[in-house]
A and B are shown apart, each in its own frame.
Chain A
């Protein structure tokens, strides 16, 4: 699913350097990325998704070397293949719950917003327990409900890869379990891959693989 070899990346302003010799993530598996702040965990997600382009080395995602695509193609690739879940949810406050779930279909021509998609959005909302809140603005939802909306938005295009950046960082233990259950259910039932950045070490048991950025460079262990 994801193959990284001899990856080198640094930001133009300097002060940060990421160097990964080799990393492999299988399909239908879940990977936790851990490590101290500022070691490049989020950058890794950006490199995998093509938001950032490596200085050197190779990343293939789903068999495609994303960095070789132009900007528009990389965006299309992301929206068709990758579901993003953010720590701060990144929902649009001026849209209601349903419109937030449908957002990927409204901001890209690569996805077609047809009746089938709307139906699936309703089913996803039903599955995560927010079907009765589809018409509400997101600021009227609890933190847990907002993250569930964000998960629906990420899963709606049926992505093969889910990239989650501290998805439970702002949630209480009850909602943390609930959200993770949803994501893992989806990964298992759809044969998808999950790469999740997390600081919560007690959750690591749930992942198939843990990538530890503690030594900044590489330290891959298998659960």
Chain B
């Protein structure tokens, strides 16, 4: 047997390109359907687990999928805005805890999520370093954000302008990092958490500037009419909230009319949830209430249908690849006819000659299956991370 293994190895090593191609073919034939199934399964689990942990989402009327994806995974385009009054409406109903979300801005490609401290409890988020945000301009980073940007509590992160060429757009706000979240393995690892009001400051709905009553600001004053001061562009606007200038920050208008993108509604019980959903059934309602698990199930239904088509295609391709591999083996045997005949004439045992040929084929199959197994194992071990990295 040792001689057969040795000769088979020599043959495979000598014809290494053919061997590698055959092994790759076998590996792909076995791995693709299995790996696809695992990855889709893990994607589905990843999608549904977060959706199932979020009872209800309220948002402006539009695509329920867009609303769910934006609110749960901070992906997809920003859904239509609604007013903060809707959050107050949910809270006032006494049926659920309302957690408003405003997800519009980014800091170095990571989404800035404006919310309340209830979000920490609702998602079970814990701060591993530092503390939660307490005042305007403070932020808590998801673990991936902190790792990628090498930020620690005490350092700063600046919100990104929405457009380089939009000079009338939002000003970047320099935010102080006060805490880092413990890893969760969810999209919360890749967000910058701030108070809802901080996002309104980024939007320009609130701002802080030089005290116009101070003599050093007098040069910028154009006109005073009672309590109203009209100033020119020389007045200094603050792009960082510090203990010194915090008092100068103020909102223009009623916060009830300020924008949010979604409300996570956590009903106190099942009945409250049903009642709350009933409140949004009217045709004249400008907002919608969606059950994320239902939305994601519909999405997964589509994904699984696509997956079935893909698997079917992979099986067909796999079959033709297998047939091609068989053809390669057959042609190889034909090319080696003289070699086999010479071994026969010399007196080589039939069992050994057959053993040699079958060992070569078995080795290719075995290595192919082993590689596929290894890849499948890797997919099952690290699939969730890959999904988080590339999909969610």
Q: How far is the CA of A78 from the CA of B353 in the complex (A)?
A: 15
A103 lies within 8 A of B346 (CB):
yes
Bitwise interface map of A from 74 to 116 toward B, beta carbon under 8 Å scored 1, else 0: 0111111010101010101111000100011111111001000
Given A71-B350, A75-B350, A92-B339, residue A51 in contact with residue B345 (CB < 8 A): yes
Given A49-B345, A78-B345, A113-B3, residue A90 in contact with residue B338 (CB < 8 A): yes
A94 lies within 8 A of B350 (CB):
no
A108 nearest in chain B by CB position: B349
Q: How far is the CA of A72 from the CA of B350 in the complex (A)?
A: 8
B339 lies within 8 A of A75 (CB):
no
A108 lies within 8 A of B7 (CB):
no
B348 lies within 8 A of A79 (CB):
yes
**How many chain A residues have a CB neighbour from B under 8 Å?**
32
Bitwise interface map of A from 48 to 87 toward B, beta carbon under 8 Å scored 1, else 0: 0101000000000000000000011001111110101010
A49 nearest in chain B by CB position: B345
Q: Which residues of B contact A46 (CB under 8 A)?
A: 345
Q: Which residues of A contact B6 (CB under 8 A)?
A: 106
B347 lies within 8 A of A75 (CB):
yes
Kindly state whether residue B343 has any CB partner on chain A within 8 Å.
Answer: yes
Given A107-B352, A108-B352, residue A94 in contact with residue B346 (CB < 8 A): no
Kindly state whether residue B344 has any CB partner on chain A within 8 Å.
Answer: yes
Q: Which residues of B contact A106 (CB under 8 A)?
A: 3-4, 6-7, 352
- From 2 to 48 in chain B, residues with beta carbon under 8 angstroms from any chain A beta carbon are 3-4, 6-7, 10-11, 13-15
| Min CB gap B338→A, angstroms | 7
A107 lies within 8 A of B350 (CB):
no
B341 nearest in chain A by CB position: A90
Given A79-B347, A107-B343, A108-B347, residue A95 in contact with residue B10 (CB < 8 A): yes
A46 nearest in chain B by CB position: B345
A96 nearest in chain B by CB position: B10
Q: How far is the CA of A105 from the CA of B343 in the complex (A)?
A: 11
Given A90-B338, A95-B7, residue A107 in contact with residue B14 (CB < 8 A): no
B11 lies within 8 A of A94 (CB):
yes
Query: Which of B15, B338, B349 contacts A107 (CB under 8 A)?
Result: B349
| Min CB gap A53→B, angstroms | 14
Q: How far is the CA of A179 from the CA of B339 in the complex (A)?
A: 22
Q: Which residues of A contact B10 (CB under 8 A)?
A: 94-95, 99
Main secondary structure, interface of B, reads helix
| Min CB gap B354→A, angstroms | 11
A91 nearest in chain B by CB position: B342
| Min CB gap A98→B, angstroms | 11
Q: Which residues of B contact A108 (CB under 8 A)?
A: 347-349, 352
| Min CB gap A2→B, angstroms | 17
Q: Which residues of A contact B345 (CB under 8 A)?
A: 46, 49, 51, 78, 84
Q: How far is the CA of A107 from the CA of B14 in the complex (A)?
A: 19
Query: Which of A76, A107, A113 contacts B353 (CB under 8 A)?
Result: A107
Q: How far is the CA of A84 from the CA of B345 in the complex (A)?
A: 8
- From 366 to 387 in chain B, residues with beta carbon under 8 angstroms from any chain A beta carbon are none
| Min CB gap B319→A, angstroms | 30
Q: How far is the CA of A113 from the CA of B2 in the complex (A)?
A: 11
Q: Which residues of A contact B338 (CB under 8 A)?
A: 88, 90
A50 nearest in chain B by CB position: B347
A80 nearest in chain B by CB position: B347
| Min CB gap B340→A, angstroms | 10
Q: How far is the CA of A51 from the CA of B348 in the complex (A)?
A: 11
Query: Which of A76, A86, A137 contacts B342 (CB under 8 A)?
Result: A86
Q: Could you give 15 example pairs across A and B, Cβ below 8 Å?
A: A72-B349, A78-B345, A84-B345, A94-B11, A99-B10, A104-B346, A106-B6, A107-B3, A107-B347, A107-B349, A107-B352, A108-B349, A109-B349, A110-B347, A153-B346
Known: A77-B347, A84-B345, A107-B356. 6 other contacts (CB 8 A): A71-B350, A76-B347, A79-B347, A84-B346, A94-B10, A107-B3
A-B interface, 4 closest residue pairs, ranked by CB to CB distance from nearest: A79-B347, A107-B348, A78-B347, A94-B14
